[in-house]
Amino acid sequence: MATTAHRPVPMHLWAVGAIALLYSCFGAYDYVMSHMRDLQYLAKAMPGVDPNAALAWMDNFPGYAKVGWALGVWGGLLVPFCC
């Protein structure tokens, strides 16, 4: 029976995974704060845009866009853990 040698995971892979996780956390934070309807966050995230108008715009998204947004955010957050 042949045995396989286990090599340690390269450091650059850990660095890329950490950066990908951090990047995905920003998207998850934005998603959560948008769905919590935090007007202060929305005003800071989109200067010059009325937060209530932004919420009305998001409320009028079609269902497939809302599902796609959720899958993109949470799927992107899970990818660094799956690979």
Contacts of 51 (CB under 8 A, 6+ apart): 39, 42, 43
Sole residue written with tokens 């949470």 = 74
Give the model's pLDDT for residue 2. 66
Contacts of 52 (CB under 8 A, 6+ apart): 39
Give the model's pLDDT for residue 39. 94
H runs (alpha helix) in the chain: 11-35, 39-45, 51-59, 63-82
Contacts of 7 (CB under 8 A, 6+ apart): none
Domain locations in the chain? 34-83
Give the model's pLDDT for residue 3. 73
CB 31 within 8 A of CB 70: yes
Sole residue written with tokens 């932004």 = 54
What does the pLDDT profile of the chain (83 residues) look like in tens digits? 567 778 888 888 889 888 988 989 999 999 999 999 999 999 999 999 999 999 999 999 999 999 999 999 999 888 777 76
